Each structure stands twice: as C-alpha cells, then as structure tokens.
Amino acid sequence: MLIQNARIWTNDGTLIDSGYVQIQDGIIEAVGSMTDLNVSDENIFDAKGQLLMPGFVNAHTHLYSYLARGMAIDGIEPYSFYDILAQIWWRLDKALDGPSNYYSGLVGAAEMLKSGITTLIDHHASPNAISGSLNQLKKAVVDDVGLRACLCYEITDRDGLEQADQGIQENLEFFDQVENSDDDRVGALIGLHASFTVSDRTFEKLLSDVGSRNVGYHIHVAEGQEDGVDANISHKKRTVFRLKDLGILNDRSILAHCIHLSEPEKDIVAEHNSIVSNQPQSNMNNAVGMTDLVGLLNRDILVGFGNDGFGSNLLDDLKVAYLVQKHTSNDPKTFDMGQAHQMFFENNYAVAKRLLGVDLGKVKAGYQGDLILVNYDPPTPLVADSMIGHLIFGMCSQIDVTHAWVKGDMVLKDREVQGINLSESYENARQEAGKLWSRIE
C-alpha cells in the first residue's frame, strides 16, 4: 500500500513537506519525498497534503467507564477519593454484564480512534461478569474497531474471595490465550485493583497460580492517600515497598498514578524499571493531587500518559499535565516541552514495545504501519521540533483525524470507523447504558 502526497511528521527528527509512505504486510517499508518516489503500487491512497503522523498510545484507561457518561444515580455525596470509588465506580462495575462490557469497549475504542489513538492499555472490572470479559473487550476493541490493545482484569478482594479467584483465573486464561496467539495487536497483563483492596492471601494465590509465566502487572498505586495509609497500618510498610516485597515490580508492570509516593518509593520504582502512567484530568476530577512527573523522569523512569477513561482525547491529558505541573509548582520552567514530548512521543511507544513487542511511534522503515492522517493547517511554520507545541496549543481541543491505519489496515476512512456502524453501535450502547444504570444498587 502506498500513501502519497502527505505532509509527514516522522517523530524521527524530520518533517517531509510532501512525501510518501509505502507499507508492506503491515510494516513501513519506505518513507521519502514525493520527488524521489519511484515505486508503483496498485493500492494508492492520496493524502492530499494532510498531516501524516504516528497513531497515539493510551497507556492506562478503563473502557467500562464509557457507559457512565451523564449517569445520574442516587447516593453520591463523596467527601474523599474512597467515597468516589465506593459510591460511583464500585457500584457501576457490579452492574456490568457481557453486553455492557462489549458496548462500552466498542464506543470507547471508536471515540479514541477518532481522536488519534491506535493502541490502548485497558484495566477492566465487572465483578458479576468476570469470566470471558477480556474476550468481550478484545472483540470490541481489536476485532471490531481494529485497534491494538493490552488488556487485564482487576483482581480485588472487595467483592469477596470467590470473585478475587475468578479475577485471577480470567487474567491467566487470557494471558495464556495471548501467549499462544501470533496476533501482535493483542497483549495481556495481570490486573490488580490496588494494594489497599488486595489481601496477602490473594497475592499469595495469584503468585502461586502465575507460576513460571513471565507476566507484567497493571495496578493503581498511591492514587489517593488511602493506599499508603492502608499499607502502613495493615502491612507496616509503604505501598511500593509492599509491592516490591511481593515481587510484582518488573519492567512490564504498569503502576498507574503514583501520586503519593515517598522519595525512597520513587527510587524503588526506578530500580525495578517499572512503568508509571499519568492521568492528570482524572486526578483533578478526583481531587487526589498530582504525580511528580519531573521527579520520576529525572530518575529515568518510563512514565507515560493515560486517560483513565476520562473522555477520549489523550491530547487533553497532555495539555493538562503541561499546565498543572507548572501551576502546582509555581515554577514556569517545570515540566518543559521536551519532557512533554518525551512522555507522549517516546515513552508511550516504549511502553507499547514492552507490552506488545512491536515498534510503534515513528514513520520509518521497519516500524509498524500504525498511522493517523490529520486535517491541520498550521497558522505558523510547522517544523520537526515544533510538533509538541502545535499539539498542546493548536490541535489539542479539536484534533480532526480523518484517516487511520493499524498494521497497515485502514481502520478509519473519511472520519468513519470502518469495522462497525457507529450510529447503530451508539444506539445499542444507549440501550445497554439505560439497562446498566437501572441495575445499579
């Protein structure tokens, strides 16, 4: 396949004003200027001068939250982060069933794709519909919408030991399925809710059942103050020290949020080369504080951006992170464009490489054909180094992705998701959302 007449931002130090990309078997084979184009291809796509760039990676999300938009239920008066979890999310997740798992995944993935995301890393919970839930999401996100996804189920003791054990089983069955598949669009982690809702007994069973498998874990860490308080009282150590002692910190483990970490805990994360994801919009909405991005980046920790299921445009999180790090530090030099670029355009792709084993994030020969075509006419010169500024101050709020490819397959064409009928899917999702809300106790 050949994409021609594109303005190509390679994320590899160059911007080609009028160029082409040739993709063979899902992999980028050649990139160059139109003046050097010397290939003929039967399958030619004319980009008509639009901006071609790598698709984005969402490093931590919750697709099940997409059917909560506009939800009004009784009994919500949160005074703390714990109240928000107990009064909203742990009531919602108990009401999820197979169809609502599927439709939340379908509309969530479709909306993310339209905002430029071509790979997502999800963290799922549906305690009364655990078995098969990860395959319901896989069908929605990967088979039907056509994105890449790394999935996990959140193990927790908060609904009882039977559900905790079912969570372990769902993760391991899906992990084994992925390990035995040659589809590099799908990855698997072992999901855990958070230290403060997982007992030593459940960790022991999990680690015993994992056995010799080479797994990474995906867990919320110190998102609110509750996590550290519980670890201190129940385990006489801080959260990250507990996770280290349990042996779940490795270079494929994602620690989501990491807001209330002590300096020694940050050192432990760095020593174990674990991944941190940052979700600033969700953090502000929950009033839990802000991750010390500079302190983590200065330790060479692989810290990237997720959205925690908050909307579908990851550029909003990029922009909010850029602003709030300065705002909370009272220092306009804190968290500069280079660090924002590193997290969004280097680290998120490095996370995907660790979890899915694929090279994403550059328009360059040998990289995957995961690309987005953006309708953007910049009012100022766009050069290779200025993309992050154009994203934060220009494209952010109204990114107009017209086409997208995953592994060379066109999954978005003229703003239409190719694998599904979106308006029909929205209608079905609305019906499932209504039923879901009526089941909430």
Which residue ranges make up the site for Zn ion (CB under 5 A)?
A: 308
**Distance separating alpha carbons of residues 103 and 136, to the nearest angstrom:** 9
Q: Which is nearer to Zn ion, 190 or 404 (CB)?
A: 190
Minimum gap (Å) between residue 11 Cβ and Zn ion? 27
Q: CB of residue 196 vs Zn ion: minimum separation in angstroms?
A: 14
Contact 54, 363 (CB under 8 A): yes
Shortest Å, Cβ 308 to Zn ion: 4
Cβ atoms of 63 and 109 closer than 8 Å: yes
Strand partners, 187: 150
Question: Which residue is associated with the tokens 């103050």?
Answer: 225
Q: Say which residue the tokens 């101050």 belong to.
A: 393
Query: In a 3-state reduction of DSSP, which class is residue 416?
Result: strand
Which helix (H) or strand (E) segment holds residue 10: the answer is: none
Task: Rank residues 65 and 368 by Cβ distance to Zn ion and give the closer one.
Answer: 65
Task: Tell the smallest beta-carbon distance from residue 58 to Zn ion (Å).
Answer: 11
Considering beta carbons, is residue 170 or 308 the nearer one to Zn ion? 308
Helix H or strand E encompassing 277: strand 275-278
Max CA separation in the chain (angstroms): 68
Three-class secondary structure of residue 309 per DSSP:
coil
Chain-centroid distance, C-alpha 297: 19
Residue with smaller CB distance to Zn ion, 308 or 370 = 308
Whose Cβ is closer to Zn ion: residue 53's or residue 222's?
222
* Rg value, the chain, Cα: 21
Which CB sits closer to Zn ion, 256 or 391? Answer: 256
**Residue 310 CB, nearest distance to Zn ion (Å)?**
9
Compare residues 144 and 308 and give the one whose CB is closer to Zn ion: 308
- The minimum distance between CB 65 and Zn ion, in angstroms, equals 9
Query: How far, in Å, CA of 166 to CA of 185, rounded?
Result: 25
Complex with Zn ion: residue 116 or 309, whichever CB lies closer: 309
Q: Tell me how far apart the alpha carbons of residues 121 and 3 are, in angstroms, rounded to a whole number.
A: 28
- Nearest distance from residue 420's CB to Zn ion, in Å? 25
Q: For the CB of residue 391, give the shortest distance to Zn ion in the complex, in Å.
A: 23
Burial state string for 410-424 with b = 16 or more CB within 10 A and e = fewer than 16: bbbeeeebebbebee
Q: What stretches of 189-274 adopt beta strand conformation (E)?
A: 190-194, 217-221, 254-257
Q: In the complex, which residue's CB is closest to Zn ion?
A: 308
